[in-house]
Structure 1
Amino acid sequence: MRQGRKRMAWWAGLGLVWTLTAAGETSVVSGGEAAWPEFGQERSAGAERVDFSRLPLERAIAMVHGAGARKIVSFEDPNCAYCKKLMRELEAVDDVTVYVFLYPILEGDSWEKSRQIWCAPDRARAWRAWMLEGKEPASASPGCDASALEHNLALGRRLGISVVPTIVLPSGRRIPGLIRAPDLMDFLSRER
């Protein structure tokens, strides 16, 4: 799929591919060509902002880049190819703490991988190794409390998150799908 210069993020949902521009406009694309923009705009208009201050960050994996002064939340599935691409993009974003909520909504072994990562002695290291290097997480001990995953699924449903990755900015704005590092930095610079 081609991405035009103004297309910053794209994501799959409901069998369609959506884009988000710097102006916050959305459209549905097919084969790289925009189609039914009014449908995408209606869909995005219903997305409510998230109260960032009320998110249970203790149920997320904290990934610190640089000093980590700026903060974002990302809902991700370990089997999501776009989440893996996002992880590479986040490597280029300095001075941010990314709180990753494991959100195993894809088929396959997403739940078990999430459980293994959550139960790892160093969650951030296990997440990073899986997402960037494809290194399988170690088997989780049977007694590990992975109830945070159930809570994350309930939280995501309550917030209406149906796409991975979905980033939440401190202002509560959602960015569903893959976003490139320069575009994310642009959003972050306009947050205050």
Structure 2
Amino acid sequence: MTERRPRKDAVRNRMAVLAAADALFNRRESPEDLTMADIAAAAGVGKATLFRAFGDRTGLLRALYEARLEPTMDAVKAGPPPLGPTTPPLARIPALLDALLCFKLDNRRLALALEGTAGAGPYRAANYERWHSLLKVMLEQIPGMADSDFIAHALLAATRADLVEHLAGQERVPPERMRTQLAAFTARVLGTRPTPGSNAED
């Protein structure tokens, strides 16, 4: 049976909704203030169209998050070093975590809203298992590395949206210092030195 392709107007509506949601999230102080009605009005579609396409507010948040994350995921799947699959794990893991931290910094409010709706922090968010599985596989390739499942969770915990928001928002830690601290932490976990140019502190 041939898989049905989405109608052109459905694809167009979906793109309009994501663009409208993207713009609105960037302008609002808190994502919680943004309703499905707001997004539907900005996109020029009915609320019913919105719910058919995304299911609920969490579905819409997830779709917007995934759209923003897509370039990073493309680099991880098939890109050049240091994120791409040809990079050895000891160099790729710090690069992946740095990219994830930079993404969370650039998308703080959206990441916080999505991870906050997951029911158990970030752990049930759609993309969490993807990152965890990828890190676990890379850790298993490092000789002598034990407990790769737990270590993958621990490394990802350093990029949690609520931690990023606390450090960047409440404590006013500059982004470059956060990246340096993450590089130093990752190096200690992996038993390596921070990547050149990170200026990580021991």
TM more than 0.5 = no
Q: Which has the higher contact order (CA 8 A, sep 6+)?
A: 1
Larger CA Rg, structure 1 vs 2? 2
Q: Which has the higher strand share?
A: 1
- Normalised by the size of structure 1, how large is the TM-score? 0.26
- Normalised by the size of structure 2, how large is the TM-score? 0.25
Q: Which has the higher helix share?
A: 2
